[in-house]
Each structure stands twice: as C-alpha cells, then as structure tokens.
Amino acid sequence: MRAIVIQCAPGTDKAANIGMLAHLMHSAVGDGPLALVSLPEMWSCLGGSRLEKLAQSEILPPPGSQEGAGPAFRFLSDTARRMGVVLHGGSIGERSGEMLFNTTLVFGPDGEELSRYRKIHLFDVTTPSGQGYRESSLFNAGTEPVLCALPGDAGLNLGLTICYDLRFPDLFSHLRSLGADVILVPSAFTVETGRDHWEVLLRARAIETQCWIVAAATTGTHADAAGRPRTTYGHSMIVDPWGTIVAQLADQPGHAEATIDRGVTARIREAMPVLAHRRLA
C-alpha cells in the first residue's frame, strides 16, 4: 500500500488551510494503487487564541453519521471519496460544549469515517530556550487508545497517536499489542525539540514496535495566542519497522511517499520476535 505524508504550513484560517491542502493532495496522490494519505496535526487551525481555536473547531457528528458535519470534516470525507484513498486527517479542533479536543479522524475510500482519536498526552513543557507551551490551557485530554482496522484488501491496522504522544513508548507498545501494523504520528513539532528529538524518537518507536511509522508534520511560522511567532520543524517522514527512514521531507510544504510492505514487517517480526519475548506487562 502506498503511504503519503503531506507537509503544510497552516495558520488560523480554516478555509485557507483547506484550499492549501486540497492543492497539495491533488499534486501528491495522482493515479496508482490504493493509498493511505496522512495529514499533519492541527492543520485546520494552528496557533491563535482559544477564541480563534473555538471558532475554527467543529462539533463532530456521531460515528457513522455525517449530519451537521463542519467544513473540515466534510472536506476530509469528500476528498477521501473523490480520490479513492484512505485519508488520515491528521488532527483538527473538536468542540464538545466548551471543551476542545485535538482529534484525529480516519476516512475510508467511500468517504465514511472509520475511526477517531483524541490526543491523550498534552504538550505542557518549557523548552531549554525558555519558550513555554501549555496545550492543556486550550485542550482537554483524551483517554482511549484507538486502533483503526482498514477494511477490504488493505488489511492494515493503524495505530493512532498525535505529536507529543510520541514521547510515551507505552502507548506505542500498547498499540502494537492491539495489532498495529502502522502507527500514525501527525505532528506540529517545535524547531528546538525537532532538531534534537524528532528523528530519533520516530526511529526508536519503529524499532521498538516493529511497525511502520507514518509521521506527517507542519512547517513554517505561525502566531501563538499572545501573537508571538512559533516555528514548526517539518521533516515529515516514513520509517520502516527496522528503523530505516524510507521517505523524508525537509522544511518546505510538499509530500513524500513510500510503500508499506507487509512482507518486510513479517520478516522483521519473525527474525526478532520481541512481542513474544516481552516479560513485563
């Protein structure tokens, strides 16, 4: 199966972000076999104040329904159906009453929603340069790991994570135990943490779980809630279960792709059966 990561530089204007992604995806997908297309974290509204995030967020329809769906949800569903792809929608702002969640959606080639996941681990840190990030001041945390089983010939199980989740290997191990073949890591990594940790963490999670890691990321500069500039790292990549980077971007919008080969996964897991050797639950 083809896996395609889309890298973009979003701001707080959801309509403009949708137009940008539509252009990037049209260039990326083309003709060919069934593809898994993955978008970055918070592509619908990156940066801005809580009020801006609330305004650009969407109340999601109940699973199995599209009644009352917002523009980002409809864009993802319509694009998956029109292009005939499995579309992993990175993440968007989900509104539930006055609560906000950082939420992933996955759509099948028929445009129907397959899974949704709310980000569990929120980015409340101060980087070595002194820049502070408090995701919990804007978002609520999810509680449930999610595995998305692709129907039909694809036959892949997708483990869903978002950005800061990458630093918690127990979540990735749990997804492998549930049957994950591919783990998706849509992100908006900071430049500072990205330079030092992005590649090594992605490769480590691939090696530990023996899963393909598909990590679409944002790039470029946006304004935070106080109007200060924040720059994200980019460098979207796909890593195979041995930890080898098989596709990668730099820091410009664009796309990269690789083939998810289940034969490679099977050979690595058979030669080094780490799941069977595991002693601690």
Please, which residues bridge with residue 231 across strands? 221
Catalytic position from the list 8, 45, 148, 163:
163
Residue at token pair 């490679």: 264
144 is catalytic: no
Q: Which of 119, 148, 211, 257 is catalytic?
A: 119
Residue closest to 71 by CA, chosen among 119, 13, 140, 116: 13
In the annotation, is 41 catalytic?
yes
Alpha helices by DSSP H, listed for the chain, are 14-29, 50-56, 71-83, 169-178, 191-193, 199-209, 262-271, 274-277
- CA dihedral of residues 162, 5, 212, 159 (deg, nearest 10): 40
CB 76 within 8 A of CB 85: no
CA geometry: angle at 14 spanning 10 and 20, to 5°? 55
Q: Which of 41, 52, 58, 113 is catalytic?
A: 41
CB 208 within 8 A of CB 185: no
Q: Report d(CA 31, CA 34) in Å as an integer.
A: 9
Residues with a known catalytic role: 41, 119, 163
